[in-house]
Structure 1
């Protein structure tokens, strides 16, 4: 599938912090206004279309959406595209028939969703992309610093294997966040001249597929010392393959999912790090920005959300 270039190439850290602070301030301000009893208008209707909901990351995001909407008396319409862009476009069309005021879009295909985004804007709906950006006239984009996540994870991996040896990348569906994580990973590994990427294969971000793919990579490259997985769902399959191999292969990943956090804390675990995202923060900021836009404020075109390195030293107690 064709994808747009990521908004989140490396950028000035202070600028990112200012933007994030602006988003948080706007969120707090508009949420407090919306809660005022003087408002007599009909409840806001927020629609959110997810690329999938068979993933704890997006389930957590949906929970945060429902919680935030409840605090402002808004109603919510949620759909699951199952990674089918045609279904996602149709889902948005149905939401527009239901007269939503705000559309939060988590695109399964940044280009393919453009017609739906355009239709929403023509209908006067505020559109904010979440987690992955969308082509078309979106008002703002809120998402993790995915380049940083991949860079952080692979720098940790390279150091864990002593700065020397073969590593493999467990890739995923070619959406912008995944592409950026791989780009960040490669940028980090390029700083270690004695670390060599010997294989990159698509595990589709699924446990079963990732298990088989990782088994094949280990068999094809018996000297591999490290594996970077683009997400925690795939990493759990990779971990099973590594453990079954009996080899000392280090594993790092991205997400901060509960299952990954638990695995990192096990004694002598081969799973040594995940660059954690904050799905609750993303959707809360997205709602705040959407409300600010609806009520006439100028809003940033992109809000990058920080990621956090989680290893055995700080995994205990971490939660989305």
Structure 2
């Protein structure tokens, strides 16, 4: 009887050990689940690659093609991945907003934006802020959201300088037409203010027409045609960018008024520089979009490193004429 009781005690002890082992094994599996789940929620933690999304208004404009070259150069030199995005045209606010939202969902490291709609882009900037993604604004200001830095140039004073150039070219007397950019954008509004600052104080200068052509060469052509028909004595066309100015040149040539109506542009794109060289365009303005692109990528990277960057960074501008155009064609 004692032997049977001893055996029963051994079996009970063995059963207790096995049960305890199973219980603790089960508890260990239960505790591991949140750790695996948390790792899946943070895929960026396993990757050291820095990806910078760069969103511009359109790639149809050579200005942004030059900006792309500068941005890519910076990305190559600094060892970051550049994701370049643009909508179909410079007025498609909704398309640009969707692009930025997609970059937010992809959790890129930083985002650079040249906004089409200064107000419309704010929710996308706010979303990036909430995700901890630094935002750099280039070329055109946004009207809200927290940004690391704005990179651009002094549109108003530069346009005023061009307006004074036009006054001097006309010897203080003549009729002028202005091809406006997309209204509501800071670049457009500041350039208009700058032109008028110089033109309006001259009693002999009359702005006979001012109409948007949305930074488009085709629209610049059409609007200039209308201006020439409505104001046959017009002396000068100011294009708020080179694409519109190049469209104006075509319209002037078609009207048989080459040499009678002069044109200036803005941006110093390759075709505009050639037009200045050939005498088709009197002047343009170099605002170095390649430098803007380079500085934007560099600034985004500095922000990611936790370094302090300047809230506003301006590139230099200068008027390009036949006298100095060769310096820009190199």
TM band (smaller chain): 0.7 to 0.9
TM-score (norm 1): 0.83
Greater helix share, structure number:
2
Partners of 1:188 and 1:306 lie apart in 2 by: 20
The C-alpha deviation readout for 1:93-118, integer Å capped at 9, x for no partner, is 22123221111011111110101101
Aligned equivalent of 1:287? 297
Partners of 1:270 and 1:56 lie apart in 2 by: 18
Aligned equivalent of 2:119? 111
Partners of 1:48 and 1:318 lie apart in 2 by: 26
Partners of 2:275 and 2:96 lie apart in 1 by: 34
SS in 2 for 1:124: coil
SS in 2 for 1:265: helix
Partners of 1:242 and 1:85 lie apart in 2 by: 32
Deviation of 1:70 after TM superposition, in Å, equals 1.4
2:226 is equivalent to residue 220 of structure 1: no
Aligned equivalent of 1:137? 146
Aligned equivalent of 1:43? 49
The C-alpha deviation readout for 1:16-66, integer Å capped at 9, x for no partner, is xxxxxxxxxxxxxxxxxxxxxxxx971211011111111111112112212
Alpha carbons 2:110, 2:135 under 8 Å: kept: yes
- Structure 2 stretches lacking a partner, 5+ long: 1-45
Residue 78 (structure 2) aligned to one of 56, 72, 80: 72
Aligned equivalent of 2:255? 245
2:208 is equivalent to residue 198 of structure 1: yes
Alpha carbons 1:81, 1:88 under 8 Å: kept: yes
2:292 is equivalent to residue 300 of structure 1: no
The C-alpha deviation readout for 1:59-103, integer Å capped at 9, x for no partner, is 121122122111122112121123322222221222123221111
Partners of 1:131 and 1:184 lie apart in 2 by: 16
Residue 130 (structure 2) aligned to one of 110, 117, 122: 122
Aligned equivalent of 2:155? 146
Looking at both structures, which has the greater relative contact order when contacts are Cα pairs under 8 Å and sequence separation is at least 6? 1
SS in 2 for 1:234: helix
Residue 106 (structure 2) aligned to one of 90, 98, 116: 98
2:265 is equivalent to residue 259 of structure 1: no
Deviation of 1:243 after TM superposition, in Å, equals 2.3
- Structure 1 stretches lacking a partner, 5+ long: 1-39
Deviation of 1:230 after TM superposition, in Å, equals 0.4
User: Which structure has the greater CA radius of gyration?
Assistant: 2
Aligned equivalent of 1:12? none
Aligned equivalent of 1:169? 178
Partners of 2:215 and 2:97 lie apart in 1 by: 23
Question: What root-mean-square deviation, in Å, do the aligned CA atoms of Structure 1 and Structure 2 show?
Answer: 1.7
TM-score (norm 2): 0.80
Deviation of 1:310 after TM superposition, in Å, equals 0.1
With 104-113 and 238-247 compared, the bigger mean Cα shift is at 238-247
Alpha carbons 2:239, 2:263 under 8 Å: kept: yes
SS in 2 for 1:200: strand
Alpha carbons 1:249, 1:270 under 8 Å: kept: no
